[in-house]
């Protein structure tokens, strides 16, 4: 039988069809996809012993506890530390992917002077010259650390100034600083003992404070309960074309008001509380009437009165603002929440007051910005700027861009989280060796002034203070009272292994606010359609690790800030 | 062309494809490699009094799995030759005395983006070793290691059956196998559970 061309074509067609009912195409597809993961140019962690080390996230001042999985000495995974008293095992999406950040393409590895390559010696000479020529300002995004102490000392010695960029949680506590004399950094919210929380736009379920703090509380005492043990009343404007926030939609009660009318609502509520004697306080009396407040907020008079009664129906009640508006803060004073259990409390250890970075620094000859300061912070001045950063977020206006240590590359201490009710202290050890071309701002200043105390010595001195204080507990794999430690070395050793010192619970009596008159709002009221403070626009990370991008994009954990490509 | 001839030609093409796909392809896909050393689980269990898998394959204090014991553990008994076999000589002279680790070919090796916790499965879920590893702990030989020529991973990951049909419960370590088991036990299946 002669085999024709037609036979071959038919046989080929039958063979192709037959292959589809064999494992060949499907198995090849699977194998090729796995093969493509192992191309030699794709970085792979080294095979080696796997161990888990405890540390703390230093990407923001919340200092969440982390369990870092290390393979052959390199971090390959991050998980939350369940024993951390504030974060309680939770991390934000950025924290979960933070171990990928050091390999980000935008990692800074060279000194740049106005977009040109420069050396550390040139940068040091330029900053030393600026120090000689006039006062300098140092801006810190994570006050209270040992490095912050180095900054303050350096600035003081040169007649310069030390400024802190405060997060929204701490900014909301600033009004109490002027009324009580207690620094805002030493105040916190006792959310754990509150029964009613009235949030004026604070994104409590969308990324407020330490990620696990309120969300865990919410899960335990409110989520899914018809009559929750914790009532959350969310005051939040709904702008045209937007959807309500996760916090608003899940709150026990959502109060939509006109955008920017939060201060007017606070005044109206205070008026009702005082007029109807729903609180012990007798003042200060807001200048507006209930009807005026209702008109400005878009609520009816009856709804405003009902809201005030609901607020005080279950005590303790605390009001949380999204910014430092004194009118909203004053509502806490009227409610008696300032210095009370379940309200705003002073931590046992007094923090130092720090001038805000928004304060005038125009007279400075140069400004040094630490790598902890959010990338989009621009000093309100045209002087020479020395900007430390581990990652280049783009559009940098600083004269000098100085590469700083990346994630887990620098040993640093971790003071109490902003707005926390309890004092904590921890040390985040350096789990990775920093590349030789990076320097921290404290190291940079130490190179100019060799008399400055290194951060390691300051941390040691702080550990010695904790040991001498004999108060609190060290929470590591198990809780050990500080008084049981035989030496400061033992205590320090535990801290360096990832334990966290937790102070005694706060005492609520030693904090009193003196407020004679109702304060004016710092923001004028706007009607619908005008711009309002949107917390997501204030959020800024210079770069995102791939894992965080995936979490942000695919899980709608948090809406991406406008104009930012994640 | 008559119908009979067409059927024969098509049938021939189909048969060749089926034979190639189901018989030749699996054989060509995997190459066979021998482990660097002969090892008998059964002998160790009987003669050394090793009764539990965890006596050699231990969980560390921090919960991580120690995996295959290091030669340091073997040296506890085999610091000198304990017999006249070729494998014993190889173990002592090539690995234990020079302090070299044995380059075992690991049947369960997964890509580096996969995180599997033995501690969670053994301690929290109380799974017996045999549920995943079958009776390998009682075997009297080390199996041939079949490696996929394309992906570079062991055949144990896919399972012995190329069609993945009629597999024993312990066969296969693909992501879908993890998901199926978790679903059977009504457990959460989330990306971050295994991929960090």
Residue of B nearest to A98 (CA): B196
Task: Classify A234 as helix, strand or coil.
Answer: strand
Q: List CB contacts (< 8 A) between A50 and chain B.
A: 64-65
CB contact under 8 A, A12 and B13: yes
Could you write out the DSSP letters of every residue in A1-67?
-PPPHHHHHHHHHHHHHHHTTSSHHHHHHHHHHHHGGG-TTS--PPP--EEEEEEE--SSTT--EEE
Contacts of A89 in chain B (CB under 8 A): none
- Using a CB–CB cutoff of 8 Å, tell me whether A48 touches chain B: no
A388 within 8 A of A554, measured Cβ to Cβ: no
CA distance B59 to chain A (A): 11
Nearest to A38 among B5, B17, B152 (CB): B152
Comparing alpha-carbon positions, the chain B residue that sits nearest to A47 is B112
Does A43 touch chain B if contact means CB atoms closer than 8 Å? no
* Cα-based angle A341, A346, A350 (whole degrees, multiple of 5): 160
- In order of start, what are the domains of chain A with their CATH numbers? 50-103 (2.20.25.90), 111-166+352-502 (3.40.50.740), 169-350+523-533 (3.40.228.10)
Measure CB to CB from residue B22 to each of A13, A22, A52 and give the nearest one: A22
Q: Enter the tokens of residue A350.
A: 């007094």
Pairwise CB contact (< 8 Å): B25 & A69? no
Question: Which residue reads 């559009």 in tokens?
Answer: A395
Q: Does B1 have pLDDT greater than 60?
A: no
Q: Which has the minimum average pLDDT: A44-48, A387-391, B73-77, B142-146?
A: A44-48
- Quick check: A15 and B22 CB within 8 A? no
**A497 in contact with B at a CB cutoff of 8 Å?**
no
E-strand stretches of A440-559 = 473-475, 479-481, 500-502
Q: How far is CA A443 from the centre of its chain?
A: 24
The neighbouring-strand residues paired with B32 are: B146
Per 3-state DSSP, chain B is made up of helix, strand and coil in percentages (nearest 5) of 45, 5, 50
Distance from the A157 Cα atom to the nearest Cα atom in chain B, whole angstroms = 46
CB contact under 8 A, B13 and A22: no
Q: With contact defined as beta carbons under 8 Å apart, do A262 and A200 qualify?
A: yes
pLDDT band at residue B2 using 50, 70 and 90 as cut-offs? confident
Q: How far apart are CA A545 and CA A92, in angstroms?
A: 12
**Out of A1, A21, A76, closest to residue B196 by CB:** A76
CB-based contact B196 A13, cutoff 8 Å: no
Whether a cis peptide bond, with omega within 30° of 0, leads into B159 is no
Q: Residue A68's closest chain B neighbor by CA?
A: B196
State the pLDDT at residue A235. 94
Helix (H) or strand (E) holding A254: strand A253-255
Tell me which chain A residue has its CA closest to the CA of residue B196. Answer: A77
Rounded Cα distance between B143 and B151, Å, is: 20
Contact A31 B13 (CB under 8 A): no
> Phi first, then psi: what are they for A76, rounded to 5°?
-120, -5
Q: How far is CA B49 from CA A117, A462, B53, B56, B76, in A?
A: 67, 53, 11, 12, 14
The H or E element containing residue A70 is: strand A65-71
| Alpha helices for A36-161 (secondary structure H) | 93-96, 120-133, 146-157
Pick from A172, A504, A508, A176: which is nearest to A342 by CA?
A: A508
CA dist A189 and A420 (Å) reads 6
Q: DSSP E strands: which ranges in A312-415?
A: 317-321, 344-346, 355-356, 366-369, 384-389, 400-403, 412-414
State whether residue A69 sits within 8 Å of chain B by CB. Answer: yes
Return d(Cα A553, Cα B150) in angstroms, integer: 32
Q: Is A44 part of the contact surface with chain B (CB cutoff 8 Å)?
A: yes
CA angle A321, A323, A325 (to 5 degrees): 80
State the pLDDT at residue B171: 87
Q: Which two tokens stand for residue A213?
A: 């703090």
Distance, in angstroms, between B4 CA and closest chain A CA?
12
Instruction: Give one DSSP letter per residue of B122-164, joined into a string.
Output: IIIS---HHHHHTTGGG-SSPPPEEEETTT-SBHHHH-S-TT-
Q: Which of A3, A4, A8, A11 to mutate to test the interface with B (most CBs of B within 10 A)?
A: A11
Look at strands A384-389 and A400-403 and give their pairing: parallel
* Interfacial residues of B (vs A; Cβ cutoff 8 Å): 1, 5-6, 9-18, 20-22, 25-26, 29, 60, 62-65, 111-113, 115, 148, 150-153, 158, 162-163, 192, 196
DSSP secondary structure of A410-427? S-EEE-PPTB-SS-EEEE
- How many other β-carbons are positioned within 10 Å of the β-carbon of residue A277? 9
Confidence (pTM): 0.77
**Chain A closest-CA separation from residue B99 CA (Å):** 16
> Which residues of chain B are within 8 Å of residue A28 when distances are taken between CB atoms?
150
Contact call for A23 and B163, based on CB within 8 A = yes
Q: Which residue in A24, A26, A81 has the most chain B C-beta atoms within 10 A of its own C-beta, making it the best mutation to test that interface?
A: A24
CA–CA min distance B29, chain A (Å): 9
* Per-residue model confidence as pLDDT tens for chain A (566 residues): 688 899 999 999 999 999 999 999 999 999 999 998 888 887 777 777 778 899 999 998 999 999 998 888 889 889 899 889 998 888 888 888 898 899 888 899 999 999 899 999 999 999 999 999 988 999 999 999 999 999 999 999 988 899 898 888 988 999 998 898 888 888 999 999 999 999 999 989 888 888 889 988 998 999 888 889 999 999 998 777 778 888 898 899 999 999 889 999 999 999 999 999 999 888 789 999 999 999 999 999 999 999 999 999 998 999 999 888 999 999 999 999 998 889 998 886 666 777 766 665 777 889 999 999 988 888 877 789 999 999 988 878 899 999 999 999 999 999 999 999 889 999 999 999 999 999 999 999 999 999 999 999 999 999 999 999 888 999 988 899 999 999 999 999 999 999 999 988 766 556 788 888 898 876 544 444 333 334 344 445 667 777 777 766 665 555 444 433 33
DSSP structure class, residue A481: E
Contacts of B65 in chain A (CB under 8 A): 50
Over 90: is that where the pLDDT of B131 sits? no
Quote the crossing angle between the two packed helices A262-275 and A290-297, to the nearest 10°: 150
**CB neighbour list of residue B135: distance below 8 Å, 6 or more residues apart:** none
Beta carbons of B13 and A37 less than 8 Å apart: no
Q: Strand runs (DSSP E) across chain B, as ranges?
A: 30-33, 145-148
The residue count of chain B comes to 196
Residue range B101-112: mean pLDDT, rounded = 89
Cβ-Cβ contacts under 8 Å between A and B: the total is 106
Cβ partners under 8 Å of residue A485, min gap 6: A467, A474, A491, A494
Task: Tell me the ipTM for this assembly.
Answer: 0.88
In the structure encoding, which two tokens stand for residue A303, read together? 């709804």
Looking up tokens 């040993």 gives A411
Interface check for A408 against chain B (CB to CB < 8 A): the answer is no
Tokens of A183: 């620094």
Radius of gyration for chain B, computed over Cα atoms and rounded to the nearest angstrom: 22
Q: Which of A14, A24, A50 sits opposite B25 (nearest CB)?
A: A24
The values of phi and psi at residue B146, to 5°, are -100, 120
Q: Cα A324 from chain centroid?
A: 16
Write down the mean pLDDT value for chain B.
Answer: 88
- Beta bridge partners, A264, equal none
- Contact between residue A423 and residue A504 where contact means Cβ atoms under 8 Å apart: no
The runs of H, that is alpha helices, within B20-70 are 25-29, 41-47
**Do strands A412-414 and A473-475 pair parallel, antiparallel, or not at all (unpaired)?**
unpaired
Contact between residue A127 and residue A119 where contact means Cβ atoms under 8 Å apart: no
Structure token pair of residue A59: 């990407």
Helix axes A146-157, A455-469, angle to 10 degrees: 120
Helix (H) or strand (E) holding A274: helix A262-275
Minimal CA separation from A253 to chain B, in Å: 31
């Amino acid at each position: 039988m002669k085999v024709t061309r037609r036979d071959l074509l038919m046989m080929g067609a039958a063979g192709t069809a037959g292959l589809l009912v064999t494992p060949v195409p499907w198995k090849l597809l699977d194998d090729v996809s796995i093969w493509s993961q192992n191309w030699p140019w794709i970085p792979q962690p080294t095979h080696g012993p796997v161990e888990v080390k405890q540390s703390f996230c230093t990407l923001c001042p919340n200092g969440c506890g982390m369990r870092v999985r290390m393979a052959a000495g390199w971090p390959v995974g991050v998980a939350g530390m369940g024993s951390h008293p504030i974060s309680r095992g939770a991390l934000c999406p950025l924290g979960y992917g933070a171990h990928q950040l050091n390999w980000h393409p935008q990692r800074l590895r060279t000194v740049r002077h106005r977009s040109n390559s420069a050396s550390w010696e040139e940068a040091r000479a330029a900053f030393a010259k600026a120090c000689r020529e006039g006062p300098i300002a140092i801006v810190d995004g994570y006050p209270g650390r040992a490095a912050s102490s180095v900054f303050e000392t350096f600035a003081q010695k040169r007649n310069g100034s030390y400024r802190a960029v405060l997060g929204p949680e701490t900014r909301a506590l600033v009004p109490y600083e002027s009324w009580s004399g207690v620094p805002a950094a030493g105040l916190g919210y006792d959310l754990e003992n509150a029964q009613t929380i009235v949030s004026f736009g604070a994104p409590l379920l969308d990324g407020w404070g330490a990620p696990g703090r309120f969300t865990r509380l919410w899960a335990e005492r409110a989520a899914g309960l018809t009559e929750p043990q914790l009532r959350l009343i969310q005051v939040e404007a709904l702008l045209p074309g937007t959807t309500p926030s996760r916090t608003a939609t899940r709150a026990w009660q959502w109060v939509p008001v006109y955008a920017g009318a939060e201060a007017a609502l606070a005044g109206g509520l205070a008026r009702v509380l005082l007029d109807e004697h729903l609180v012990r306080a007798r003042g200060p009396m807001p200048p507006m009437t209930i009807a005026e407040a209702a008109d400005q907020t878009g609520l009816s008079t009856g709804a405003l009165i009902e809201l005030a009664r609901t607020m005080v129906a279950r005590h303790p009640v605390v009001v949380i603002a999204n910014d430092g508006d004194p009118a909203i803060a004053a509502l806490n004073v009227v409610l008696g929440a300032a210095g009370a259990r379940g309200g705003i409390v002073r931590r046992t250890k007094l923090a130092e007051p720090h001038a805000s970075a928004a304060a005038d620094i125009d007279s400075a000859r140069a400004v040094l910005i630490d790598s902890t300061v959010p990338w989009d912070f621009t000093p309100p001045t045209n002087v020479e700027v020395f900007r430390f950063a581990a990652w280049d977020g783009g559009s940098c206006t600083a004269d000098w861009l100085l590469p700083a240590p990346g994630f887990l590359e620098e040993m640093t201490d971790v003071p109490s989280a902003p707005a926390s009710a309890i004092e904590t202290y921890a040390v985040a050890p350096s789990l990775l060796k920093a590349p030789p071309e990076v320097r921290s701002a404290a190291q940079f200043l130490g190179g100019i002034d060799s008399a400055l105390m290194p951060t390691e010595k300051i941390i040691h001195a702080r550990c010695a203070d904790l040991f001498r204080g004999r108060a609190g507990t060290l929470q590591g794999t198990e809780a050990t009272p500080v008084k049981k430690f035989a030496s400061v070395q033992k205590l320090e050793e535990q801290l360096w292994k990832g334990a966290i010192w937790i102070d005694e619970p706060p005492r609520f009596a030693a904090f009193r606010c003196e407020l004679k008159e109702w304060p004016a709002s710092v923001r004028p009221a706007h009607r619908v359609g005008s711009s309002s403070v949107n917390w997501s626009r204030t959020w800024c990370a210079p770069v995102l690790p791939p894992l965080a991008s995936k979490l942000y994009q695919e899980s709608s954990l948090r809406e991406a800030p406008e104009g930012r490509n994640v | 062309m008559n119908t009979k001839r067409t059927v024969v030609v098509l049938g021939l093409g189909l048969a060749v494809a089926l034979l190639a796909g189901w018989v030749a392809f699996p054989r060509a896909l995997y190459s066979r490699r021998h482990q660097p050393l002969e090892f008998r689980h059964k002998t160790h269990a009987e003669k050394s009094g090793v009764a539990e898998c965890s006596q050699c394959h231990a969980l560390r204090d921090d919960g991580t799995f120690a995996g295959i014991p290091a030669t340091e553990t073997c040296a506890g008994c085999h610091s000198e030759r304990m017999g006249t076999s070729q494998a014993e000589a190889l173990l002592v002279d090539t690995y234990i005395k020079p302090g070299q680790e044995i380059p075992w070919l690991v049947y369960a090796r997964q890509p580096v983006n996969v995180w599997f916790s033995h501690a969670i499965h053994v301690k929290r879920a109380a799974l017996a070793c045999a549920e995943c590893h079958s009776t390998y702990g009682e075997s009297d030989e080390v199996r041939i290691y079949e490696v996929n020529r394309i992906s570079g991973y062991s055949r144990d990951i896919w399972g012995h059956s190329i069609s993945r049909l009629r597999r024993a419960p312990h066969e296969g370590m693909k992501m879908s196998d993890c998901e199926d088991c978790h679903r059977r036990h009504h457990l959460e299946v989330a990306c971050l559970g295994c991929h960090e």
